[in-house]
A and B are shown apart, each in its own frame.
Chain A
Amino acid sequence: MKKKENFTSIFLFFLIFALTIFTLSKSGFLSFPASILQKALSPFQSITYSSFNFLSKADDSKIKRLERENRELIKRIVNQDILQKENSALADQFATTSIRSQNLLAAKIVGAPSFIPGVSPPQSFIIDKGTGDNVKVGNAVIYKDNLVGKIVEANLYFSKIDLITSSSFSSTVKTLRTKALGVIKGGGEKKMILDNVLQSSDIKVSDVILTKGDQNIKGIGLPPDLILGKLVSVAKKPSNLFQKGEVVSLLDFSNLSTVFVIRY
């Protein structure tokens, strides 16, 4: 009869080894070797992501073209609103808030794990720019004035972005039409939840939601007037303290291949 192998000693060895590496990594001692290893492996990761992204992009239907046009139109409306604000701000000798192109850093997405690739929206992106390119944790990431997410992890060559739909994302926002304030949270799926909007505030379906801006003195955080999405439903109950709503991003995250990091 075949003798069964004794696993306990080898298990204990690798358990202690893994615990040691985990502790060292948490303390930040392994960030350099991890960066080097990721740099070496990233071409394979990038090729895998690009191949699947190319396949899903192949079906460029009429709906996708309309979505692109819709995105462009909303961007123009927001730009017009910003121009009006700039005019009045200049008149009052105040600075403007638009993002200059020299502050933007183009980054290629090398990984975007989702439940069903090409169908389910991803919750995070891995991009090929890191602290070596002056990317910092907390930097905002955009695509055509639409907010994509926030940097949550960064090593020398790569960074991880938590998308606006991720359940860990939250920010203060305003509506484009009435400037009603609220707090948005990622819903975990394609939608985001708009909450903490005062009962007296005027919000309605199709309102465009923008960031209010929460940058600190070093420029880390979300700049104002970035598009988060469109309000698709509003729940206003007199018994509740606040109004609630559901917001959908204008971006199709599963089809993005390049994003822009805002650096200061």
Chain B
Amino acid sequence: MWFIVILILISTLLQASITTLPLVILFFLIVAVVTKKTWVFPAAFLTGLVLDVLLLNPMGKTSLFLVIFLFIVLLYDKKFDIQTFPFVFLASFIGSLIYFIAILHIPNIFTQAIISAVISTSAFFLLVALNKIDMKKRVGFNEG
């Protein structure tokens, strides 16, 4: 749990100080996909508030986005398996794109969204390779 809190803090500080890449969104996307637990909502809500305060955005803007985004991601779990690379890639790409358009208003949104998708897919790959042995079959590690 402490490891997750430290990662949330690091991603929040990096996104507030030096980069426009939506690290917090990518982090919560992966947490939601891997754990599928309800605690991601309060955690995302609080992190969104802190991020808004640090970036001088109206409070609640990022929280609102994060809560809706995570709910949609978890809704897909009822229809099909979300613990796959294509889903993580597409969800992070679309999520980042909407975040850039709705909240950040920055240039090069397509390039940044693609890089965000690559970062989240790589992080998901690392998680699968290191810890989640039971997930390997589902995401196609043992095929062939």
Contact = CB atoms under 8 A, between A and B. Distances in A.
| Co-assembled chains A and B | yes
Interface of A: 4-5, 7, 10-11, 14-15, 17-26, 30, 34, 37-38, 41-42, 44-46, 48-49, 52, 110-117, 123, 126, 153, 155, 158-160, 167-168, 188-189
B37 to A, nearest CB: 7
Contact of B64 (A18, A34, A155): A18
Contact of B107 (A45, A110, A123, A159): A123
B interface, over-half SS: helix
A114 B58 contact: no
Please give me the 9 A-B residue pairs with the lowest Cβ-Cβ distance, nearest first: A22-B60, A188-B107, A21-B60, A25-B59, A117-B18, A48-B17, A18-B64, A49-B17, A18-B63
Interface in B17-72: 17-21, 36-38, 41-42, 45, 48-50, 52-56, 58-61, 63-64, 67-68, 71
B142 interface: no
Contact of A111 (B17, B52, B63, B67): B17
**Residue of B49, B50, B111 with highest tally of chain A CB at under 10 A:** B49
Contact of A52 (B17, B48, B58, B75): B17
Interface residues of B, number: 42
B19 A114 contact: yes
6 contacts: A15-B71, A18-B64, A24-B60, A113-B20, A117-B19, A155-B56
B13 A17 contact: no
Contacts of B14: 48
B54 A19 contact: no
A25 B58 contact: yes
B36 A153 contact: no
A153 B58 CA distance: 10
A14 B45 contact: yes
B55 to A, nearest CB: 7
B106 to A, nearest CB: 6
A200 to B, nearest CB: 33
B105 interface: yes
B28 to A, nearest CB: 13
Given A22-B58, A22-B61, A10 B41 contact: yes
A111 B60 contact: no
Nearest to A52: B18
A115 B113 CA distance: 11
B105 A21 contact: no
Contact of B67 (A14, A52, A116, A117): A14
B19 A115 contact: yes
A250 to B, nearest CB: 21
